[in-house]
Amino acid sequence: MMISSILFFFFLAFTPCCPITDVAADDCRYTASFTGVSGDDTRDNDPGSAIPLAIADPYVIYDGKTGVYYAYGTSAPDGFKAYVSEDLVHWRQADTQLGGGYVLRKGHSVFGDANFWAPEVWKTGDTYYMLYTADFSLCVARSSSPLGPFVQPEEPYCLVQGAIDHTLCIDDATGEYYLCFNATRNGRNSIYMARVEKDFSSMAPESEWRLCLTTDPGTWEEIQNQIIEGPFIIRHGGRYYLTYSANDYRSQDYAVGYAVSDTLFPGRWEKAADNPILRRPAGLVGTGHSSFFTGADGQLYIVFHAHPDRESYDPRHMYVSRAWIGEDGTLKVAEDCTPAFLIVE
């Protein structure tokens, strides 16, 4: 079976284009043009109808058949909610079977009691899989819809304990599925990779994990704590790009870097000389835990969270920026960014 994330940007040639919306660079957090893609929205930044979309570790997929974007992220203490949009600016809480926007919830045939973090949604055939962290464990649930409910049809289980933030990638050469994730082993917080069964029923034992990346002392990666997390992998031009976030998420210096390898597993990951590629854009702080998707216009985008202001780190807010891979093979992120707004109805 071929797997897709509905965002199958992996084989595209990426070039920059216009931003999603007209955003003031000096105050990206609060300024956006509420015209939308169709031009028929007249809210005009009415503060009574929209508030910042407060989700961390955001993940977005685009359904080209319906023209709808779906956003997931870390927000609720007992599961995950979904949000829908047609323009990447205005978002509404999804109408879901579980109610309250929930697509996965504690106590509804899933593993986990707390610490529900960093969901991703992938599709195989007619089945949607949600990769998520709960109880500091790597988990997978399934659904027939991107709006859930995502459940584990048999006894709730996790793939492995003591690891978080798993993302999926497929080896072009072998067709094997791999999870890339964060774990602390031998006193170091690092990014690892391991093979996973195509039905996500099990993954390779720890003895077969491969170390991808760890932080470099004395660099931007260790300004506050020794943490490297939030991996995401894209493919372009026969190469793999592994993005990651470094520093404590509570730090204003939380930022995104990347490494490149010609092979996925075992990869030989070389960090980019121009790292970090996302750090304090347009005056934002705490920017990180990113993922990528292709929009309706064929443009590659990066979605990430940032602190709500310079005095606090929660609740984190969702933003979107343009991204592209240049002719020299380097991954670029635009300085301008678009805040996501939740429409209050």
Long-range CB contact pairs, 14-18, < 8 A, 24+: 14/236, 14/299, 14/300, 14/323, 14/324, 14/325, 15/324, 16/299, 16/322, 16/324, 16/332, 16/334, 17/297, 17/299, 17/322
57, 87, 120, 336: the catalytic one is 57
| CA 172-14-84 angle, 5° bins | 90
Its pTM stands at: 0.88
Separation between Cα atoms, residue 212 and residue 115, nearest integer Å: 25
Tell me if 335 is assigned to some domain.
yes
What pLDDT, on a 0 to 100 scale, did the predictor assign at position 48?
A: 52
| Residue 34 in this model has a pLDDT that exceeds 50 | no
87, 221, 229, 253: the catalytic one is 229
What pLDDT, on a 0 to 100 scale, did the predictor assign at position 42?
A: 33
Tell me if 256 is assigned to some domain.
yes
Instruction: Report yes or no: 200 and 129 within 8 Å, Cβ to Cβ.
Output: yes
For residue range 153-189, what is the model confidence (pLDDT) as tens digits?
888 999 999 999 999 999 988 999 999 999 999 999 9
Tell me if 257 is assigned to some domain.
yes
What pLDDT, on a 0 to 100 scale, did the predictor assign at position 345?
A: 80
For residue range 41-86, what is the model confidence (pLDDT) as tens digits?
333 444 458 999 999 999 999 999 999 999 999 999 999 999 999 9
Q: Domain of 19? A: 3-35+50-343
Tell me if 134 is assigned to some domain.
yes
Tell me if 167 is assigned to some domain.
yes
Tell me if 41 is assigned to some domain.
no
Tell me if 108 is assigned to some domain.
yes
**Whether residue 229 lies in the annotated active site:** yes
Domain count, the chain: 1
End-to-end CA distance of the chain: 40
Tell me if 40 is assigned to some domain.
no
**Whether residue 57 lies in the annotated active site:** yes
Q: CATH no. for residue 222?
A: 2.115.10.20
